[in-house]
Structure 1
Amino acid sequence: MGKALIPPDGGDIEGINLREALEQRYLAYALSTIMHRALPDARDGLKPVHRRILYAMRQLRLDPDAGFKKSARVVGDVIGKYHPHGDQSVYDALVRLAQDFAVRFPLVDGQGNFGNVDGDSAAAMRYTETRMTEVAALLLEGIDENAVDFRETYDGEDSEPIVLPGNFPNLLANGSSGIAVGMATSIPPHNVAELCDAAIMLISQPDSDVAALMQHVKGPDFPTGGIIVDDQTAIAEAYRTGRGGFRVRAKWHIEDQGRGTYLIVVTEIPYQVQKSRLIEKLAELVQTKRVPLLVDVRDESAEDIRVVLEPRARTVDAALLMESLFKLSDLESRISLNMNVLSKGIVPKVMSLGEVLREWLDHRREVLLRRSAFRQEQIRKRLEVLGGYIIAYLNLDEVIGIIREEDEPKAELMRTFELTDVQAEAILNMRLRSLRKLEEMELRREHANLSEELAQIDALMASEGKQWKTIAWQIGEIRKTFGPETPLGKRRTAFADAPTHDVEDLQQAMIEREPITVVVSEKGWIRALKGHVGDLSTLTFKTDDGLKFALHAETTDKILVFSTGGRFYTLGADKLPGGRGHGEPVRLMVDMDNEQDIISVFVHKPGRKLMVASSEGYGFVVSEVDIIANTRKGKQVLNVDGTAEASLCVDASGDMVAIIGKNRKFLAFPLEQMPEMSRGKGVRLQRYRDGGPADIRVFSRDKGLTWQDSSGRLYTRSMEELKDFVADRGQAGRLPPDRFPKTNTFGTPAIP
């Protein structure tokens, strides 16, 4: 260990509790981050850095109709006067305010390279130029009329606004995002016209709930467009609680190329998705063949986005292809909603849609009152001066005489005409040219106009109804400026229901379809050979092992395995081990007990029905839909207990059942006597004194029963020839028909 630090001579060591020191300092840091960095003010929707940027531009007179100035000049003023932090962080904030793909209503009008949707950064601040937009001017409107409070800057040499007047619903219009200590905020942008309509509704109907407000505010409106595919119930819940999210998809259409071929063209991508990274991800999906339906992707974008997707064949379902891409790429993105903002600029709080709008409206009323009071004071001062001027004109010769002859003309004027100090000073400061006769008429006209304006302001200040009527008019003017008929105000994001596609269809769309031959050995090893192999005589197996099952399939198929435990397992044909080796044991791919064996392996066919039977002669019919297992554990279908095992699984297509027991007793009965179940023990198929069923077939009355002997010869018996063998289910049966194989099996495939 190093030496203990010793204070200089005469120094004292002060003991501090480490825990208390850490708590105190971390709390100070947390409060600073929450209040001055990460969370926006609900009133003007700005964080301190953005507010200081706009105020610095106002001080530099960078109005919308003024000329541009270098961004470095703005950044210099911001960090020098108001925001003592890194110049690059301030410039990054400035750049974002100018990017029309990042903010719905830009606050900065940029000239030069301010980055693009591909994720390229802006040029250095010494190259770019800026000025404010009309939206920024609205946010600052009235700031010189005592509309808001000011505070000292960090060095005490200047002052800055605590909040902007905010004559624009900026918080919801442009959104905001930030991560503080223990809390975060994420607010997507919205359409101003819709916000104005909702705010006007709140003025006339203060008790309006979220459902009523959503008649106007349908959902977010992103600068990059896209399509929101959430249902209105989920959107309403997000707006009610202030927390939630929105699924946004790219906008696309089909371009016909003639001769049945087509291309998919993406024209809008989700908000905050970098196009270059999106293209890289799509190209990777093409290269790795994770989406075999897609063969090529091209970026043909100029000023507008145009991403071209080429399907593998003309028969590819475009909607299915896009659905698979939505799952695997940023063509679908989730935009979170967390309306955690500073209420009154002090208290962090998660607000609902109505609360956020109410906070802005209350701020607008306060600004209106403060600006009106400021104007009141200005008018009163002017009326006082005008009153003095009028008295001077009525007594012009006497006033001139006092000024020429008296040593203290100001005091004499005040005494003679009962003037105030302000009036006397104004008269003494009058210009000679103002002594025209016309000037008196103009003064009286100005006095009358100002008196009338003062009466109107007094009436406004005294009536809350008139105040809200004025605010509603102001909001109506904003709606006209940024209405849905204007290029900037037109809604860009649409709404739609997400198309529902079968999960199986989507999974198959992500698998390259190829023919395979599935081989299962007697000891339960499985593998997949490429192509549909006819001759399997050259296959090699492990010692004391041999071929048990072989079936043709496609890589998009599901392979079903039925075990002696009565359980079905599902394997993806594309995930089977290759055919170069001996494969892998099925028991390692699924959770199958070692003492259990495989009864049947076959390709899943939706809609088909199967018959399952146990070694005791019990069974039932089950639909293939009910035996698909989504986990390694499989799905228990046929219940067996004691020494009984599942023994048979056959196709149940037909209307008659033929069963042959190990005791060589044969029985045929109608299939309608068999129940259809999804799980259970089943009913008795045939009665035995000893043994159980050897084989079962389901056949059609019209076609008759067909079996195959050991030599490969086929025999078919009609219902007329089988009438002596037909009885009810559960009977013992009788010896089989003539020429039935000695192996007690029907020989034909149990499951084709």
Structure 2
Amino acid sequence: MSEPDDKKHPATHTEPLSRAIGERYLTYALSTIMHRALPDARDGLKPVHRRILFAMRELKLSSTGGFRKSAKISGDVMGNYHPHGDAAIYDAMARLAQDFAMRYPLVDGQGNFGNIDGDNPAASRYTEARMAPPAEVLLEGLAENAVDFRPNYDGTLEEPIVLPAAFPNLLANGASGIAVGMATNIPPHNLDELVEGCLAMIRDPAITEDALVDLIPGPDFPTGGVLVEPKASILEAYRTGRGAFRLRARWSTEDLGRGQWQIIVTEIPYQVQKAKLIERLAELIETKKVPALADVRDESADDVRIVLEPRAKTVDPAQLMGMLFRNSELEIRFSLNMNVLIDGKVPKVCSLKEVLRAFLDHRRDVLCRRSRHRLEKIANRLEILEGYIIAYLNLDRVIEIIRYEDEPKQALMAEPWQAEGGVAHLTEAQAEAILNMRLRSLRRLEEMELRAERDGLIKEREGLEALLASDKAQWKQISAELTALRKSFGKGTALGRRRTDFAEAGEVVEVPIEAMIDREPITVILSKMGWVRAMKGHQPLDAEVKFKDGDGPAFAVHAETTDRIVLMGSNGRAWTLLGANLPGGRGMGEPVRLMVDIPNEVEVTHVLLPKPGVKYLVVSSDGDGFVVPGEELIAQTKAGKQVLNLRDGARTAVCRPIAGDHVACVGENRKMLVFALDELPEMARGKGVRLQKFKDGGLADAVTFALADGLSWKDPAGRTRTEPDLAEWLGKRGTAGRMAPRGFPRDNRFN
């Protein structure tokens, strides 16, 4: 007979999918927040770090003892307390040993634990570790019931819920983590300043954030650097628990003699990988985004030494660094998000004062628990000592009972004994202790030592009872403990001195590229096929120059290395090259289309050197044009800048500097028109207005001149001819004009 269906298939529970997913995701989120991502405000540690240090304590890896293989440590942590991947545990331990990541390293590593370049640590089987002195301070008091313990993941062992933490590790070493829906990012601080802030809070619990920030002026990063964040901004960040700090590299100039110099970077911002920083600086040189920078070298050994070479000795070092701060990770913004677990349970974004208060309250709790634990130990010891003293007072009878009684313990407890205060009975613990005494302890000197020990313990008990009864005494004791920390980790020690300085950011002034380049004459040559080069010096423009087979000269202009050279295209677009960036004249040059984005179908029609204050006449082959300031022709990108808008089939016909008060234009039909320059609009870009009306063809050429000097042109023989009387051709802009004067060139060009 078969079983009923309800026994084969147990009853199922039905609930909406949204509720089922919501409850499970909430459980996961809380687990991530509580047990993985956010540090505890009391000891500043996440569970994995806490377990690593506790496991090292269990392995007795003190800062003065021997090292153990990292594989052994991470294996013990994984097997006993942290059932996650050993790689994750080892990575967490390796970070605790990195002096460039931790302001006060908690692990003393031996071997390759990574470097500031971003290289990973060696495998755990190759490295060794032990606790560092700051870690021992965090663990101090664990054996004295200073904190609560809980069962480990499988219930076979116990682990501390939080460490006693004798210093505010959360702020001293900082923390970072990403949980579900929240994150934390806390920079490291100077321990000496944190102690000063804690002492000030103990003296005045109502201390203001302003007074606190005077004592703790800002983060102190292990890699040093210079903090350039305004004080008001720092104060607001500490008051709200959210903000950011601008951190710059530390640099100085090194004199090379003969006016030459170079910049030496000795400290880089926190968490910036040096190798990637060097790559970024090299990219800036390659793309010429910071043209004043000529070269970068990494000469680092044990310390950081990055050499930056300027392109010219005339460059101002501060201005060069200002541009590098803007374009590279030589300056970063380190965000502050003081999101921590209060009492290990509630995530909260805390202010600086709230974080220090959480630490101080924890220290007070630890002090009281350790004091009560010590009182219990004293009470137990005093009980034993009283039994010993009774035994000494009745030594002969005690010896007799031990020698002749079958149950000496019961006999000792039943006997009324003569004591200092009268008659007393021994407790079980006292009787057991008397029975376990050594014969050598029966000497007279031992009795005197017991009485001295008893008196000392009674005095210590009175002090502890007074401590527990007085808030003032407790805070005084905590102040003394914090002050004692300064001997080991204060500013007077190599580890404790402040590494990050403060400075004003200053304004980054945009320096013209020309000011950063040595000014030298060059002759720019552009071939018909678009190959460009720069010959040194001002060579004759008609000098014979070699070109590739099938190529020939198109343009040759005298310029300087500081000049911006504008190429005007047949499509009305302008591109800009810097004279200093042009290839030398030893070879055939380089294709200009590799330097700027000129389409293959576009022809370069003009090569210009715009100067400040100079304006240009630009006209299309349709006869439309306008006046444009020279600076509007300069493009800031490789894509160029559209200046003259053209209709289909039209092209750029004229782009000339303006000199004079009138415009003369001639069409392909040989009709010439002269009109006043002020009839043309001045624009940055556009189509412009009609210069001359044509029935057939379009514009051939246009030029500006002074009417009083007459209009000049060159005849086929190269002689200059001038027409002084232009009344016949004078008219309004946009009219057809009259036939050109006798002797005007057949190609309809003024030059």
Give the TM-score category using the shorter length. Answer: 0.7 to 0.9
The one-letter code of the counterpart of 2:468 is: M
Paired position in structure 2 for 1:309: 308
Question: Are 1:710 and 2:717 counterparts?
Answer: no
Describe how 1:338-357 pairs up with structure 2 within 5 A.
338-357=337-356
Query: Does 2:455 correspond to 1:439?
Result: no
Residue 486 (structure 2) pairs with residue 425 (structure 1):
no
1:461 corresponding residue in structure 2 = 468
> Aligned partners of 1:118, 1:547: CA distance in 2, in Å?
47
Kindly indicate whether residue 95 of structure 2 is the aligned counterpart of residue 96 of structure 1. yes
The 1:174–1:316 alpha-carbon spacing in structure 2 relative to 1, beyond 3 Å, is: same
Alpha-carbon distance in 2 for matches of 1:547, 1:305? 48
Alpha-carbon offset, residue 347 of structure 1: 0.3
Q: 2:563 aligns with which of 515, 520, 526?
A: 515
**Separation (CA, whole Å) in 1 of partners of 2:97 and 2:604:** 70
How many Å apart are 1:41 and its aligned residue? 0.2
Amino acid at match of 1:212: A
| Mapped contact 2:626–2:681 kept (Cα < 8 A) | no
Equivalent residue number for residue 135 of structure 1:
134
Change in CA separation of 1:7 and 1:100 when aligned onto 2, cut-off 3 Å: farther
In structure 2, what is the equivalent of residue 575 of structure 1? Answer: 636
Q: Secondary structure at the match of 1:304?
A: coil
What is the aligned partner in structure 2 of residue 491 from structure 1? Answer: 498
1:527 and 1:302, CA in 2 relative to 1: closer, same or farther beyond 3 A? Answer: closer
Report if aligned partners of 1:178, 1:184 keep a CA contact under 8 Å in 2.
Answer: yes
Residue 523 and residue 330 in structure 1: after superposition, are their counterparts in 2 closer, same or farther (change >3 A)?
A: closer
Q: Distance in 2 between matches of 1:558 and 1:269?
A: 45
Q: Does 1:410 align with 2:409?
A: yes
Contact persistence 1:290–1:510 (CA under 8 A) = no
The structural deviation recorded for 1:322 is 1.1
Residue 32 of structure 1 is matched in structure 2 by 31
Distance across 2 between alignment mates of 1:205 and 1:576: 59
Alpha-carbon spacing, 1:364–1:9, altered in 2? closer, same or farther (3 Å): same
Opposite residue 515 of structure 1, the aligned amino acid is D
Contact residue 99 and residue 115 of structure 1 kept, 8 A: yes
Residues 1:474 and 2:481 are matched in the alignment:
yes
1:327: how far off? 1.3
Q: Residues 448, 13 of structure 1: CA spacing in aligned structure 2 closer, same or farther, 3 A cutoff?
A: closer
Is the contact made by 2:616 and 2:628 (CA closer than 8 Å) also made in structure 1?
Answer: no
Deviation at 1:423, TM superposition (A): 1.3
Q: CA, structure 1 residues 601+338, in 2 after alignment: closer, same or farther (shift >3 Å)? A: farther
Distance 1:75 1:571, change over 3 A: farther
1:198-209 equivalence runs, <5 A: 198-209=197-208
Q: Which residue of 1 aligns with 2:272?
A: 273
- Taking structure 1 as the reference length, the TM-score comes to 0.73
Per the TM alignment, residue 552 of structure 1 is displaced from its structure 2 partner at its CA by 2.5
- Give the structure 2 partner of residue 232 of structure 1: 231
Which stretch shows the higher mean deviation, 117-126 or 416-425?
A: 416-425
Which residue number in structure 2 is paired with residue 297 of structure 1? 296
Superposed CA deviations along residues 584-639 of structure 1, whole A, max 9, x for unmatched, are 45459xxxxxxxxxx99999xxxxxxxxxxxxxxxxxxxxxxxxxxxxxxxxxxxx
For 1:315 and 1:564, locate their aligned partners in 2 and report how far apart those are by CA, in whole Å. 41
Question: In the alignment, which residue of structure 1 is the partner of 2:213?
Answer: 214
CA drift at 1:553: 2.3
Residue type matched to 1:380 in 2?
A
Q: Is the 8 Å Cα contact of residues 311 and 517 (structure 2) preserved in structure 1?
A: no
Cα distance per residue 1:149-187 (max 9 Å; x no partner) = 000000000000000000121000000000000000000
Match of 1:151 in 2: 150
What value does the CA root-mean-square deviation take over the aligned residues? Answer: 3.9
Letter in 2 for 1:573: I
Q: Are the aligned partners of 1:389 and 1:423 in contact in 2 as well (CA < 8 Å)?
A: yes
Q: Any conservation in 2 of the 1:242–1:352 contact (CA below 8 Å)?
A: yes
Residue 103 to residue 406, structure 1, CA distance change in 2 (3 Å):
same
| Paired residues of 1:386 and 1:447 also in contact (CA < 8 A) | yes
Q: Which residue does 1:60 correspond to in 2?
A: 59
Change (3 A) 1:221 1:404: same
Q: Sort the Cα spacing of 1:347 and 1:513 in 2 relative to 1 into closer, same or farther, 3 A.
A: farther
Deviation at 1:564, TM superposition (A): 11
Q: Which residue of 2 aligns with 1:552?
A: 609
Contact 1:557–1:572 (8 Å) recurs in 2: no
Displacement of 1:475 after TM fit?
A: 0.5
**Cα–Cα, structure 1 residues 357 and 283, in superposed 2: closer, same or farther, change >3 Å?**
same
Which residue of the partner structure matches residue 501 of structure 1? Answer: 508
CA distance in 1, matches of 2:83, 2:241: 33
Count of aligned positions: 598
CA distance in 2, matches of 1:79, 1:46: 17
| Equivalent residue, structure 1, for 2:120 | 121
CA distance in 1, matches of 2:506, 2:712: 51
Q: Distance between the aligned counterparts of 2:629 and 2:17, measured in 1?
A: 62
TM-aligned CA distance change 1:407 to 1:237, over 3 Å: same
User: 1:303-349 CA deviation, whole Å, 9 max, x = no partner?
Assistant: 00000011111111111111111111111111110000000110000
For residues 641-660 of structure 1, what are the structure 2 equivalents within 5 Å? none
C-alpha spacing 1:741/1:254, structure 2 compared with 1 (3 Å): farther
Distance in 1 (alpha carbons) for counterparts of 2:292 and 2:323: 9
Q: Specify the SS of the correspondent of 1:427.
A: helix
The more displaced of 328-337 and 189-198 is 328-337
TM-score using structure 2 length: 0.73
Change (3 A) 1:408 1:708: farther
Whether the aligned pair in 2 keeps the contact of 1:226 and 1:494 (CA below 8 Å) is yes
Distance 1:521 1:27 in 2: 63
Question: Residues of 1 paired with 2:347 and 2:443: CA distance?
Answer: 61
Evaluate the alpha carbon distance shift between residue 289 and residue 551 of structure 1 in structure 2; reply closer, same or farther with a 3 A threshold.
closer
Confirm or deny: 8 A CA contact 1:558 1:573 kept in the other structure.
Answer: no
Deviation at 1:480, TM superposition (A): 2.3
What SS class does the counterpart of residue 553 from structure 1 fall into? coil
Q: Kindly tell me: are residues 516 and 457 of structure 1, through their superposed partners in 2, closer, same or farther at Cα, counting changes over 3 Å?
A: closer
2-structure distance, mates of 1:239, 1:561: 59
Query: Could you say which residue in structure 2 is the equivalent of 1:107?
Result: 106
Mark the CA change 1:55 to 1:261 in structure 2 (over 3 Å): closer, same or farther.
Answer: same
